[in-house]
Amino acid sequence: MIALRAVATLVCLVLLSACVGMPTEGPVVESAGSADVEEAPGFSFNPRPPQPGQAPAEIVSGFLEAMEETPVRTSVARQFLTAEAQETWAPETQIITYDDLGPPVGQTLVSLRITGADVYDARGAWQRTEPEIRLSFGLTREAGEWRIGRAPDALVVPDSWFGDWYQRVSLYFFDPTAQILVPEPVFVPKGDQFASSLVRGLLTAPGDRGDVARTFFPPGLTPGVGVPISTAGIAEVSLNGDPDVIDQDTAQRMLTQLVWTLRQDERVRAIRLTIGGRPFGGREGTTQVNLDVGDAFDPTGSGASRDLFGLRDGRLVRGSLDSLTATPGAFGETSLGIRSVGVNLAGTRVAAVTNDGTALLLGSVDQPDGRVTQVLSSATDLLPPAWDFSDRAWLVDRRADGARVLMMGRGGPREVVVPGITRRDVRRLLVSRDGSRLVALVRGTTTDRVVSARIRRDVQGRVLGATRARELAGDLVGTGRIRDVAWRSTTSVAVLSDFSEVLAEVRTIAVDGAPADLASEGFSRVRGRVRGLVGSPKPGSQALALTRRGVIDVITPERVVPELPSGLTYLTYVG
């Protein structure tokens, strides 16, 4: 059976590869696109249960093969276990995927080696990659046949199977202040289990600490039997637990998390929530909640401006690409000697870096005769500022001894030590609009890296620190040099790298470090010299590659894009 499925997979790959080519003309080669919500593959696999007389190694091999049952379930795999182990085995604890599987060896203790392993937690969130993991199984005889009495509490499956049957989505939690949603990327099973898996993920708290993201689902709630979706698109979410511990405000936050998470299932049009048999609905007493609930907590910023902002002849301009006009504030009326800007989400305040990179100016975007304040001086080389939802500006000062990450609070600039970013050669810094992530481009001796860290805050919004940055899986090819990064969505960034002397590559990668072959949202190759990227996490926003002559829409290269106005030296979205 494994051999037959491998042949089928090979045939599919050959057919797919025949459709991929590289044109020799045009500015952009679009080689892959972003994936939308997918249905489960249109086939099933029914593995063989244990057979009489099988040896211990055969039982273990059969057990591992049975975990590839599709649609995703473990009913056959449990038959390889002893009666006691069937009651205690918990494959929902974690998922381990592998690239290659070694032969099982042993009698009462059977072990085997898996290579190229990736580990996911109970929610389906990627945790780490291991070059090699050794698995052990305790075997015993039961009713005259060998059975597994001790097995790892994990679903252990091949990478290819996992990629076919699991889908990358987000679970939505709140930031510590409960003012904005924080998306947490996970992988969940496709098909009929999709909505149920999303709800189970929400009931699993986002980590041991709530200083990055928090949930309003109280402890002790457990999911009912599935999440049925009616023909009208009503998702019935039934949870077991005590409804008396949930007040109205908590219920509204729970519904917001549910709506934002379940709206990723294209079948869902509205939600009904019951806890312990009691319905929890909208503030107007309705039991059915529509999908616009919680829009005020949009992780891209409720009411965030969609305008582009830039510098033209040293003055601040805003608008669309074909209509950038000077702003009425001091930055638009006067050339203040600035080289880069960052604009807050509302599009009302601007932080600007002076031409020599040593000072930061702060002022209004459009208030006539508004005051410009120098809030930082004596810096060495400031990178462009970035803003989060709490109206804090973040920036990097590139010093001789390495980068310092600075946060502009009410009391002035404050250094935030970010292990893996601080004191490194940082070329670009991004901050997620929800204030939970930092993404940095770090220069290396021969190759560059894109890394990501989490920002820790308390319930008042005070920044407590940051986690150690982890490298993102970019699967980059070419020279190893990265020129720029920009937001593509709330959970992904576009990365501009050198592919060859005449081509640059723009690839979209995940911010959580998940394997590139599962999390990548496609790539484009741009012919010619590309200066940088301009991107936004807002759905529908253009992702632009800036060249010496103009601008290219990276996602839809066939779209006609206006030429850059003469004198335009800098371009950005808010945030």
Q: What is residue 286's predicted lDDT score, i.e. its pLDDT?
A: 77
pTM here? Answer: 0.89
Please report whether residue 227 resides in a domain: yes
Q: What is residue 13's predicted lDDT score, i.e. its pLDDT?
A: 34
Same domain, 121 and 211: no
In the chain, pLDDT over 90 holds for what percent of residues?
A: 74
Q: Which of 335, 357, 379 is the last residue of a domain?
A: 379
Which bin fits 124, alpha (ψ -120 to 50), beta or left (φ > 0)? left
Same domain, 160 and 173: no
| Residue range 95-144, pLDDT digits in tens | 999 999 999 999 999 999 999 999 999 999 999 999 999 999 999 999 99
CATH value at residue 109: 3.10.450
Same domain, 249 and 278: yes
Residue with tokens 């490194």: 424
Q: Grade residue 12 by pLDDT with cuts at 50, 70 and 90.
A: very low
Please report whether residue 313 resides in a domain: no
Please report whether residue 157 resides in a domain: yes
Which one-letter DSSP state was computed for residue 5? H
Q: Are 281 and 234 in contact (CB under 8 A)?
A: no
Please report whether residue 39 resides in a domain: no
Same domain, 327 and 221: no
| Residue range 28-80, pLDDT digits in tens | 444 444 334 456 666 789 999 999 999 999 999 999 999 999 999 999 999 99
Same domain, 155 and 198: no
Q: Is the pLDDT of residue 559 over 80?
A: no
| C-alpha to C-alpha distance for 170 and 251, rounded to whole angstroms | 20
Q: Which residues of 345-365 are buried (b: 16+ CB within 10 A; e: fewer)?
A: bbbebbbbbbeebebbbbbbb
| Residue range 334-358, pLDDT digits in tens | 899 999 999 999 999 999 999 999 9
Q: Grade residue 378 by pLDDT with cuts at 50, 70 and 90.
A: very high
Q: Which of 132, 147, 165 is the last residue of a domain?
A: 165
Report DSSP letters for 102-124, one per residue. Answer: PPPB-SSEEEEEEEEEEEE-TTS
Please report whether residue 308 resides in a domain: no
Same domain, 501 and 529: yes
Please report whether residue 11 resides in a domain: yes
16: containing domain: 1-30+474-575
Please report whether residue 565 resides in a domain: yes
| Residue range 159-174, pLDDT digits in tens | 999 999 999 999 999 9
| Residue range 488-522, pLDDT digits in tens | 999 999 999 888 777 888 889 999 999 877 766 66
Mean pLDDT, residues 249-277: 96
Q: Are 204 and 197 in contact (CB under 8 A)?
A: no
Structure tokens that stand for 88 in this block: 């205690």
Please report whether residue 421 resides in a domain: yes
| Residue range 517-549, pLDDT digits in tens | 776 666 777 777 788 999 999 998 988 988 877
Q: For the chain, how many structural domains are there in total?
A: 5
CA atoms within 13 A on the CB side of 382: 31
Structure tokens that stand for 545 in this block: 């590659």
